[in-house]
Structure 1
């Protein structure tokens, strides 16, 4: 059997041709948004949970995760830089210190009113929505005890709820009120009424405006 000898030039041409053919046959698979995500979109860290205003941070990350956006893309959508978001996450920049521009950007990114951003960033406290000073904290524990005595819902009220943060307790009470159509905590400030009353004289408080004690309201 005779061996066909090929010149170095011929061998090089065959190798080059084979390489080109292989590259042409290779098909590119589209990368889905889920595969483009990086680890940060899994949620906020234990350290970030301790930051004041971390609710907004978690909200933004969850929205970005749903859309398959990376951190830099989320920052651009809000109107800030990657470094700015990093400083919020590390506590270098306090979340409650957001500028009006950033608040507007967060509101547009999440598709919610600016007021929701103010609450999530802990700029406006939930207590600020109530007419009686510090009334919310006074009503939380009695409301939880009433929920615990409820024959239908009491089985779901774990004892650890009484040691939870006030914001968590308040959320559970609001959900209970929505499910049962009962009111366990004082009526919140009517925001629309406040807006309508801007520029008008605030009426004086009378005796009839006094808050109802917790034990009477919860019975």
Structure 2
């Protein structure tokens, strides 16, 4: 009878709550400390999951003292290792590229072709948005005279809202990775074929 009760009790245990994704918000206090946005994201994510700093460090797989050095600015966040960036990406459940941006190891403009912010590409796109009956009236004089980066953001938001394409398509990182991988495979095959030809000629 006792075994039955234990069995019944076992079946009534609640399943552990699933690990939630990071909301995308930042701990405001931490964001202004030397650790910057990456540490602010980690602290916020830990808070959303009800974890202490020690529990967060354990979940990431790095020691709490190491995280403290990053938070305090004793160790530079923009010099984190690839392994730590990957661990943070897994913890936050975001792409590693996002972690590298938060850490300051790469800048947003590094993801775009060099001439993407050039006025020649943005001016006609901004004019198109300004002449749109539904959206044009939202462009204030301040927005029309804003920096290229801001104008780029406006145009991309317009593209997302309307489904239209006004700026040249950026090279997608995932597509590029596939292309590079395919090229490497072809190169390996060609080298192997060349080696076979050389070996047969030598014999």
Aligned residues: 156
Structure 1, unaligned stretches of length 5 or more? 1-40, 202-219
RMSD: 3.6
Structure 2, unaligned stretches of length 5 or more? 1-25, 185-203
SS of the residue aligned with 1:197? helix
Question: Which one has the largest radius of gyration?
Answer: 1
Q: Which residue of 1 aligns with 2:21?
A: none
Shift of 1:196: 2.6
Q: Deviations over 1:24-81 (max 9, x none)?
A: xxxxxxxxxxxxxxxxx84345633xx6x84433332332232122333222221223
Structure 1 pair 42–119 and aligned structure 2 pair: CA distance change class (3 A): closer
Structure 1 pair 141–197 and aligned structure 2 pair: CA distance change class (3 A): closer
Q: Which residue of 1 aligns with 2:71?
A: 89
Matched, 1:177 2:162: no
SS of the residue aligned with 2:89? helix
Select 2:28's aligned residue among 43, 46, 69. 43
Could you tell me the TM-score, scaled by structure 2's length? 0.57
Map 1:87-166; keep pairs closer than 5 Å: 87-131=69-113, 133-136=114-117, 138=119, 142=123, 147-157=129-139, 166=149
Q: Deviations over 1:96-130 (max 9, x none)?
A: 21112211210110112322322332323332333
